[in-house]
Amino acid sequence: MVRQVRDELRIVKRHWRNYVFQSLLATASLFCVLVFLEQGEEIIIASLGATAFVVFAMPDKITAQPRNVIGGHIVGLACGFAGYWLLGILPIPDHFIALAGIHAFSVGLAIFIMVIINTEHPPAAGTALGVAFGGLDARLVISVLFFSIVFSGIRLLSRKHLRDLT
């Protein structure tokens, strides 16, 4: 255990500029998200925060690829809306277990579709959950897609300066 920690510290010491630079990229990107989105959209903000981590701390992973980031959030938006829509049309009692089932269904459906169409992006499951809870409007869709594209664009433009930090 001590040896592993010592080895990790050597890596950090050797590549400290990457750790600082990539953390600052994530911070600046998420700052823009927080300024743009409104209070009440916390679950969506949390999923975009997780996206910032994936994109800037693990840029070489498949889940950080633009197809996965953007496609995953599109799937998350659609599946979250499906759950929200089901809550509106089904005669579901206002009971915690019934509501939890629909919200869980939204996440499960998002996972299923992301895996089927090869757009796996774990934070997008949070997008599905946030939309299932709070609904969907044009501003939210535009925000999630815009920031997914921005994060992916920053990753692509900064690619030669990024390395996996995990």
Q: Which residues contact 123 (CB under 8 A, 6 or more apart)?
A: 47, 48, 49, 50, 51, 53, 54, 72, 73
Domain boundaries, position 54: 2-161
Give a yes or no: residue 46 inside a domain. Answer: yes
Q: Which residues contact 101 (CB under 8 A, 6 or more apart)?
A: none
Tell me the HSE value of 5 on the side-chain side, using a 13 A CA sphere: 2
Give a yes or no: residue 71 inside a domain. Answer: yes
Q: Which two tokens stand for residue 123?
A: 């934070």
Report the pLDDT value the prediction gives residue 39, as an integer from 0 to 100.
Answer: 63
Give a yes or no: residue 139 inside a domain. Answer: yes
Residues of 45-57 as b/e, b for ≥16 C-beta within 10 angstroms? bebbbbbbbbbbb
Give a yes or no: residue 97 inside a domain. Answer: yes
Report the pLDDT value the prediction gives residue 15, as an integer from 0 to 100.
Answer: 78
Report the pLDDT value the prediction gives residue 151, as an integer from 0 to 100.
Answer: 95
Give a yes or no: residue 63 inside a domain. Answer: yes
Report the pLDDT value the prediction gives residue 5, as an integer from 0 to 100.
Answer: 67
Report the pLDDT value the prediction gives residue 133, as an integer from 0 to 100.
Answer: 87
Say if residues 41 and 140 touch (Cβ distance below 8 Å): yes
Give a yes or no: residue 166 inside a domain. Answer: no
Query: In total, how many domains does the chain have?
Result: 1
Report the pLDDT value the prediction gives residue 35, as an integer from 0 to 100.
Answer: 84
Give a yes or no: residue 119 inside a domain. Answer: yes
Report the pLDDT value the prediction gives residue 62, as an integer from 0 to 100.
Answer: 97
Report the pLDDT value the prediction gives residue 1, as an integer from 0 to 100.
Answer: 73
Mean pLDDT per 10-residue interval, the chain, length 166 residues: 74 82 92 78 85 96 97 97 86 73 93 98 96 88 93 94 89
